[in-house]
Amino acid sequence: MNEDACQEPTGTPFKYFDHFEEHEQCLFAGREDEIQEVLTGVARGRTFVLYGPSGVGKTSLLLAGLFPLWRQRGFHPLRVRILESPVEELCAALASELQCPELAREKAPHLLVELSARQPLIIVLDQFEQFFIRFKHRPQEREDFIAFLGRIYREAAANVRLVFCLQDDSYARLEELRAELPDLTQHGLRLPPLTAYGARQAIIRPLLQVGAHYDEAFVNALVDQLAGWQLEPFVLQVVCGELYRDSVERRERPVRLTREDLERMGGVAGILQGHSRYLAAKLSAERLLLFRGVLVGLITSEHTRRTARVEDLLAGITRMEPGETREVLQRLVARRLVRVVNRPDGTWYELMHEKLVAIIEKWLDEDPEFTRFRMTCHLVSSLSEDTQWRADPHWLLTAEQLAERVDPWKERLRLGEEATEFILRSSLHAHADTIAYWASRHDEFGPGRTTELLLKLLEHPDPAVRVGAALACARLEDGSGRLTTRCLKLALEAPDKETRRAAGSSFARLMRPEDAATLQRALTVPEQRVRALEVMADLDEAGRSFRAAPARERLRARLIVRRRRVERNQPLIQRRAAIGALTGAKMTLVWVLTIGLALMFVLFITVYPQQVTLHWYRDFLRNSFGVVLVLVPFVLVPIGMLIGWRVARRTAILLALHGHEHWGYPTFRSGTIMLSSVLLSCLGLLFLVERSAVVDALSLRVGVPSWLLLPLIVLASSFGAWMLTWLLVALASHCIPEKARAPIIYLWAFLGSACLPIAFEMFLSRSILWAGSWDRDLPALVSFVAAVSSVIASFQSFVVTCALAVARKRLGADQPSPRRFAIRLARVGLVLTALLVVGSSIFFWGADTLPFRLPLVLGQELSLEGAVWKVRDTDYFTIQGPGSESFAMSVQGGDVRTRLLLDGIDVTEGSILVSARPRVLAAITPEPPNPDPDPDSPAPELPPRVRYHYGLAEEPIQWSAPERVDGQHWTLLSLPLYSLPSTPLGDAQWQARVESVLPPDWRKEGAVVLVHPVLLHLSGMEKGRCLGVFGSSDRVSGFMNALVIRNRDDSALVPPPNSQAELFLDAFRVAPGPGGHWSLSMTVSPSRDVDPQQCVPVRGLSMVMEDGRKEPRLSGDTSWMLVAMKMY
């Protein structure tokens, strides 16, 4: 025997699941005792039986162990497999092997006498259990073959021996042959498992033949582990083959197997598991269903190997082409799972080993996909056997069953004619998308079968069956036109609407030119005119407009199409509208808490500086809370829900009508947006309360009444908000892609709704600042209109954008995605606009507009200089007193074109302020030059930026009367109040006295002394009482009773510290006596004859106090009066 013949072409000397061939005698070992026993048994009798469990190595023992020895001893062994025709196959094999064609023709056993005379013949019937399985239901062929074996046996002159090789579970079936072969079971051997010595030899000999090395410890460990697997030969072959392949892949030369290799690969169990995963992984990467179908075809119903041809496998449960089957078989052969059996009658295939049957069946049973495939085959087969589904559609498969059970494997299901019709009818009834496929499968059993079936179903009494058949007509080719004619007839005459619509839609896709005349005649019949219009609508939906009809009829058909599309998509429209409403409410709250608060802050500090005090944030939060509490739940949230619902609904309708989504058009056409703009503009007019003088002045100049100018302002604001909202939403549709995530949606919605409106307002209001001829009225009004429009547009665009984007993200829509260039261009535009807003804000307002700057320290003189825009601009300054206590200061300078506010109090030149806290917030804002303009006089020009200059100086408080009083400065004096006897009515009285001397030149100026009471501190004042202050002197120029303010907050300080009001109507005017001496006595008592509601101050001296918690520490007396004196 050539040594090279003993080496596997694949590089491994082990056989895995395959058996040893005759030329591999040098690799086969471990069965020496069994070989001798079989040789002896065959020599003793005419028959011999070799049987044993599957996988024990029977075929390898015969081919590699016995055939070479029989040939050496002069015998002629022949291995025969019985597959299809037992007698013919046996005779053909003998004729081919012995070169005796007469034997194949005559099938005469006596011919073996002469053929076996020269060389005894041993006929080995291998895998004989297949004979009992394959011919189980073919008794005649089985009996003929058994009789033929009996004729061979009884031919005494023929030197022929019969060796039967089969599994031990089929051994009892040999009783069927005993009548022809009496001594059949007299000589035989049940092949036992390998012994430990035999397993050791089976491991070592192949390694020695290929020059591989091994360790004794490796062999001992492997044999010990194989003992747990009953030393089965196929397990040994697989384990040794995997160890050898692993060593080769690690490029070890020469190959050396060690115990460490065995342990590294997990022992016998780990190697077998890894090899199974290796085979499964290889198969799963290929066409799994075909592999499964072929493997199933190679296993019999008795769970044994089946030898089959390609055409046999094509008749299995899996539908495949011959080329596909051959490709799968080739791959299985390459993976050592299938063996090729070449015979004179063709090429056969079988599993490598009987042990593979259990492995493959377990693999298939554990595969959920293939289990579902076999269950589908069984389901279709069992349901189609009962023909009740032809009369009752409830027996058919549902749409879910078709989609889940049939559709995944429709290409691979092998079905008969009745089962195919069953699936086709199920598809028709369920309106499935696979109707055309199953129709083509049904036509494979005869051309035109599907057309005849549909024509029959169109006459079915069940409306659901007729609808399904009518809809299916559109998916098939109608060469004869019979389906088209029938569909038109049903569309015009069917009693139920569903059938008419289904037939009409199919007719629209199948219509031929000759059918137009029939439809044209139907339009002229009054009874069919409405239904003919419905058919025209079907044609329009199919893109085949019926141009032969009049234009008026075509227009009516288009209106029907629009109505149908809206009705068809009504659930989607309602869902998008609901999402839009809910998102609108949520985004309203988000806008109010972000953009809305930011815009309110800007308006607060620029439009209403008189409300900005040192603790401006508390005032802002208090005012904002009031606005939010009233406007948000009762105005903004309902409006947000309404516009979100309406625009989302309108967008969904357009999507249903045109098949794609637009944002700008429904926003532009939305009446809700227009109404919302008008309503919110009317609310914005509330901000005009303090600008009524501007409105009145402008109305006088243009000659339009104020009551007419206000609606014009509302219309201008509404129009601006409407147009700006449309532009913002249209731009957002280009910035937000179709599948944008939520952060991207909110980011671009924020940028678009915050930056662009502010940029629009800045451009419009600031560009008109240079309208000098209109002075301040027109710019102020335009600024108001721009501000209101911007705020409304910001709110509406943010709500609409988020509502549409969220609805599209949740439900999906085919919005025409803009190109990347358009998206990038829109986003770059928004980013540049944001930068422009930041830069413009710094340029127009700067840091002076923010009310939280570093404080300026008040000294003998503090100058406030700068410039403010003539519209909506305010500069803020924080003034720090000289110490940590209260202080007084005077104001000098200023301009009639600006106004100075100290903690919200309007201060004029020459005023004195007394502060109870160490800091004061000053605000400077432009003031109209002429509050009451004369329409006949030209309006003075006001530059875009108005410059201002104010001087502030600290005023000391004196505790004793000064020696002199001049006309340059105010003198602050704290006077003690002394109690007087009560009045006849029982009211308390207090009195204070002051006297001083005027300068020597007072006579030249003819001056008098002005004495202004500033503060009164009285213990035990009754809440709500008005005070009367009476002055008396030797020479009093004016003696008056100053009823100024009531004690509202039950405080000892008058006026209460939280009052932002001016105190007295006027000052006491005291005429000096000779030498410039003057004196004044002031009596303070409650007043009973004045209504407290009339205690209202006018312009005069001002004070600044803090919430009534801290009083100026001007004197330690219980009661005192603070007065200001000046020569006038």
CATH of residue 231: 1.10.8
**Is pLDDT above 80 for 986?**
no
pLDDT band at 1057 (very low <50, low <70, confident <90, very high): very low
Per cent of the chain over pLDDT 70 is: 82
Structure-block tokens of residue 5: 């013949």
Does an H or E element contain 1078, and which?
strand 1077-1087
Residue 190: DSSP 8-state: E
Q: Are 1057 and 1051 in contact (CB under 8 A)?
A: yes
pLDDT of 285: 39
**Is pLDDT above 50 for 1045?**
no
**Distance from the Cα of residue 22 to its chain's centroid:** 67
pLDDT of 799: 92
* pLDDT average, residue stretch 957-975: 77
Structure-block tokens of residue 954: 């600290």
Note whether residue 15 is domain-resident: no
Least confident of 730-734, 791-795, 927-931, 1061-1065: 1061-1065
Q: What is the rounded CA–CA span in Å between residue 344 and residue 88?
A: 11
* pLDDT average, residue stretch 1020-1045: 58
Shared domain for 359 and 248, answered yes or no, is no
Closest CA to 916 of 988, 841, 835, 1017: 1017
For the chain, the 3-state helix, strand and coil shares in percent, each to the nearest 5, are 55, 15, 30
Residue scoring higher pLDDT (958 or 700): 958
Q: How many domains does the chain fold into?
A: 7
Shared domain for 754 and 782, answered yes or no, is yes
Q: What is the rounded CA–CA span in Å between residue 1107 and residue 1056?
A: 8
**Is pLDDT above 60 for 775?**
no
pLDDT band at 267 (very low <50, low <70, confident <90, very high): confident
Mean residue pLDDT across the chain? 78
Which of 826, 844, 862 represents a domain boundary (last residue)?
Answer: 844
Beta bridge partners of 340: 349
Shared domain for 310 and 218, answered yes or no, is no
Shared domain for 187 and 207, answered yes or no, is no
Shared domain for 227 and 180, answered yes or no, is no
**Is pLDDT above 80 for 95?**
yes
**Is pLDDT above 60 for 873?**
yes
pLDDT of 771: 54
Domain that holds residue 234: 194-281
pLDDT band at 36 (very low <50, low <70, confident <90, very high): very high
CATH number at residue 878: 2.60.120
Which of 192, 219, 245 represents a domain boundary (last residue)?
Answer: 192
Structure-block tokens of residue 376: 């589908």
Least confident of 251-255, 306-310, 722-726: 251-255
Dihedral over alpha carbons 952, 954, 958, 961 (to 10 degrees): -40
Note whether residue 945 is domain-resident: yes
Shared domain for 47 and 147, answered yes or no, is yes
Shared domain for 1003 and 1107, answered yes or no, is yes
Least confident of 563-577, 918-932, 1108-1122: 1108-1122
Distance set, CA 790 to CA 695, 728, 795, 904 (Å): 20, 11, 9, 27
Q: What is the rounded CA–CA span in Å between residue 180 and residue 673?
A: 103
Q: What is the rounded CA–CA span in Å between residue 250 and residue 238?
A: 18
Q: What is the rounded CA–CA span in Å between residue 99 and residue 88?
A: 15
Note whether residue 226 is domain-resident: yes
pLDDT band at 162 (very low <50, low <70, confident <90, very high): very high
Note whether residue 422 is domain-resident: yes
Q: What is the rounded CA–CA span in Å between residue 673 and residue 797?
A: 10
**Is pLDDT above 90 for 103?**
no
* pLDDT average, residue stretch 274-303: 71
Shared domain for 607 and 686, answered yes or no, is yes
Note whether residue 1007 is domain-resident: yes
**Is pLDDT above 70 for 844?**
no
pLDDT band at 819 (very low <50, low <70, confident <90, very high): low
Shared domain for 514 and 662, answered yes or no, is no
Place of tokens 């004179």: 344
* pLDDT average, residue stretch 234-258: 82
Which of 549, 579, 603 represents a domain boundary (last residue)?
Answer: 549
pLDDT of 1050: 39
SS3 of 42-59 = HHHCCEEEEEECCCCCHH
Note whether residue 562 is domain-resident: no
* pLDDT average, residue stretch 604-616: 74
Closest CA to 704 of 45, 445, 713: 713
Note whether residue 22 is domain-resident: no
**Is pLDDT above 50 for 192?**
yes
Shared domain for 277 and 312, answered yes or no, is no
Least confident of 196-205, 370-379, 392-401, 1001-1010: 1001-1010
pLDDT of 164: 94
The alpha helices in 592-705, defined as continuous H runs, are 597-607, 616-631, 637-658, 664-669, 671-684, 692-702
**Is pLDDT above 50 for 1056?**
no
Cα 1038-1044-1045 angle, rounded to 5 deg: 160
pLDDT of 697: 60
Q: What is the rounded CA–CA span in Å between residue 222 and residue 109?
A: 50
Note whether residue 563 is domain-resident: no
Structure-block tokens of residue 663: 């944002």
Structure-block tokens of residue 368: 């959920």
Q: Strands 188-190 and 47-52, how do they pair? A: parallel
pLDDT band at 1093 (very low <50, low <70, confident <90, very high): very low
Q: Strands 76-80 and 121-125, how do they pair? A: parallel
Shared domain for 976 and 862, answered yes or no, is no
**Is pLDDT above 80 for 126?**
yes
pLDDT of 939: 52
- Give backbone dihedrals phi and psi of 374, rounded to 5 degrees, phi first: -70, -35
Residue scoring higher pLDDT (1045 or 50): 50
Residue scoring higher pLDDT (617 or 1043): 617
Shared domain for 638 and 653, answered yes or no, is yes
**Is pLDDT above 70 for 1112?**
no
Residue 950: DSSP 8-state: E
**Is pLDDT above 90 for 336?**
no
pLDDT of 972: 81
Does an H or E element contain 1009, and which?
strand 1009-1017
What is the value of pTM for the model shown? 0.56
Q: Are 541 and 508 in contact (CB under 8 A)?
A: yes
